[in-house]
């Protein structure tokens, strides 16, 4: 089965890592747009 393959998990790891690096950029964009910094 494809789930039992190191290559499959390597790809999943890279996707997760890229998601992990991209998400902060998106969130930062929304913080700035919504001005939701809480430090008021």
| Shortest Cβ 33–another protein spacing (Å) | 9
| Shortest Cβ 12–another protein spacing (Å) | 6
Q: Dump the DSSP string for 11-39.
A: HHHHHHHHHHHHHHHHHHHHHHHHT----
Q: Is 4 in the site for another protein (CB under 8 A)?
A: yes
Size of interface with another protein, in residues (CB under 8 A): 29
Q: Is 2 in the site for another protein (CB under 8 A)?
A: no
Residues 6+ apart with CB under 8 A from 2: 8
Q: Is 21 in the site for another protein (CB under 8 A)?
A: yes
């Amino acid at each position: 089965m494809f789930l039992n393959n190191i290559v499959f998990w390597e790809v999943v790891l890279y996707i997760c890592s890229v998601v992990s690096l991209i998400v902060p950029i998106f969130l930062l964009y929304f913080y700035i747009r919504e001005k939701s910094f809480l430090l008021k």
